[in-house]
């Protein structure tokens, strides 16, 4: 999981972020309500300390969890990663030499020097990127500004509690899946069916609804309400109206009806390489969001390294998306969605074994034990 984007170094070091009412773990969905005292055995923890306790129990140290992201996240080689883990564990240079089977102690000192050099380079890069962002903001001739919310947007009654009484904007996107689906469908009604929108036009509409307009824009695309070209410069409302035909008002009514009646479909999916037969198996709380996964792969920013590499080589036409299992909640009474998806994903991973030469999935700890 990449947690570095848009987070300060201080927040990354803590392992959790502070929101209005909760402390939220960066590594999972765990939330700890503020102002509550939590008992752990015979000890009482304050809210923030209980979140630290959760991280220690569920994820180990923040240090090790950040380091586990691998080269893609840290830029470190496997040898450097192991070295840092051993140093963090308090090992002496002699112990590190024996454990890593390094020829001499001077080699370890060279590794330490290289790591300090990387640290300096990272600080310089952060400063350079900050200056670049500032310069880009200055070059924007017409910055996006928040105006009083457009009166044409009225959030559904059951979602109004998530909107500020002061300026009418959404205060948080910490909604349940069906609430997100409903909200995004309502936001889509602000767009005209035959109009082509530039990215800036989309942003100007969405910033009046939510401060994180980029998240809202991505959700509109991922959930199938807006389409965008590969460059991300043009957006259109997904519409069944041909130019010059049908009524815009009728189409809006149809969209509203669809949003109310359409139930969120979720479960397990597969991506298959039709050339070499390799597969990736994953879970999703909403099959519509696979649109976002396709877009990421098309733009070379997919999270699965090997899958992305083959996607770039063979092209999107050689990959097939398939729903392997759609969850029927009648069969899972009393089990939450997250647990359902975890159990089903384990089942399909065990059945299809999409590892190594057979697929793009990384081998989970539970499966490593089975094959050990």
pLDDT in tens, 3-59: 555 677 778 888 898 888 899 998 888 999 988 899 988 889 999 999 999 998 888
Distance CA 293, CA 307 (A): 12
Segments of the chain with pLDDT less than 50: 1, 140-142, 149-151, 241-244, 366-372
Contact 100, 78 (CB under 8 A): no
Answer yes or no: are the C-beta atoms of 287 and 324 closer than 8 Å. no
Which domains are present in the chain? Answer: 9-115 (no CATH), 157-261 (1.10.10), 267-371 (3.40.1440.10)
**Are 177 and 156 a contacting pair, CB within 8 Å?**
no
Q: Where are the beta strands (DSSP E) in the chain?
A: 16-18, 22-25, 31-33, 38-40, 43-45, 196-198, 226-228, 234-237, 267-273, 279-284, 319-326
> What is the model's pLDDT at position 261?
55
Q: Is 56 helix (H, G, I), strand (E, B) or coil?
A: helix
Predicted confidence at residue 371, as pLDDT, reads 37
The pLDDT value recorded for residue 254 is: 63
**pLDDT the model gives residue 337:** 85
**What is the model's pLDDT at position 136?**
63
Nearest alpha carbon to residue 73 among 16, 137, 27 = 27
* pTM across the whole model: 0.45
CA distances from 345 to 211, 217, 265, 339, 348 (A): 34, 29, 16, 10, 5
Q: Is the dihedral of CA 63, 66, 72, 74 positive or negative?
A: negative
CA dihedral (106, 108, 114, 117) in degrees, to 10, reads -90
Q: How far apart, in Å, do the first and last CA atoms of the chain sit?
A: 26
H or E element, residue 239: none
Q: Which residues have CB under 8 Å from 181's CB, separation 6+?
A: 223, 259, 262, 264, 286, 288
Cα–Cα distance for residue pair 188/174, rounded to 1 Å: 19
According to the model, what pLDDT value does residue 367 have? 42
Mark out the alpha helices in 300-358 (DSSP H runs).
305-314, 337-352
Among the listed residues 57, 55, 37, 54, the one whose alpha carbon sits nearest the alpha carbon of residue 46: 37
CA 93 to chain centre: 38
């Amino acid at each position: 999981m990449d947690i570095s984007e848009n987070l300060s170094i201080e927040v990354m070091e803590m392992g959790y972020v502070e929101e209005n009412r909760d402390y939220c773990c960066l590594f999972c969905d765990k939330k700890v309500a503020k102002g509550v005292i939590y008992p752990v055995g015979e000890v009482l923890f304050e809210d923030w300390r209980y979140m630290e306790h959760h991280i220690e129990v569920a994820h180990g140290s923040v240090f090790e969890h950040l380091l586990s992201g691998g080269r893609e996240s840290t830029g470190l080689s496997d040898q450097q990663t192991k070295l840092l883990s051993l140093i963090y564990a308090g090992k002496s240079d002699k112990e590190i030499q024996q454990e890593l089977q390094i020829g001499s102690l001077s080699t370890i000192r060279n590794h330490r020097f290289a790591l300090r050099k990387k640290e300096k380079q990272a600080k310089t890069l952060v400063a350079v990127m900050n200056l670049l962002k500032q310069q880009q903001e200055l070059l924007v001739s017409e910055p996006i500004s928040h105006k009083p919310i457009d009166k044409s947007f009225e959030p559904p009654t059951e979602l109004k509690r998530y909107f500020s009484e002061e300026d009418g904007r959404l205060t948080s996107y910490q909604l349940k899946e069906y609430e997100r689906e409903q909200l995004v469908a309502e936001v889509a009604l602000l767009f005209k069916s035959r109009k082509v929108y530039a990215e800036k036009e989309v942003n100007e509409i969405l910033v009046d609804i939510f401060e994180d307009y980029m998240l809202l824009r991505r959700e509109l695309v991922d959930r199938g309400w807006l389409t965008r070209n590969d460059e991300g410069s043009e957006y259109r409302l997904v519409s069944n109206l041909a130019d010059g035909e049908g009524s815009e008002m009728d189409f809006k009514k149809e969209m509203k009806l669809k949003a109310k009646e359409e139930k969120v479909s979720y479960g397990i999916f597969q991506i298959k390489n039709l050339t070499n037969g390799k597969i990736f198996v994953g879970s999703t709380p909403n099959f519509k969001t696979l649109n976002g996964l396709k877009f990421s792969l098309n733009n070379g920013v997919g999270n699965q390294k090997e899958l992305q590499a083959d996607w770039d080589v063979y092209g999107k036409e050689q990959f097939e998306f398939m729903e392997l299992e759609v969850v029927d909640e009648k069969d899972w009474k009393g089990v939450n969605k997250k647990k359902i998806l975890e159990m089903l994903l384990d089942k399909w991973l065990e059945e299809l074994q999409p590892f190594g030469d057979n697929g793009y999935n990384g081998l989970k700890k539970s499966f490593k034990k089975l094959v050990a």
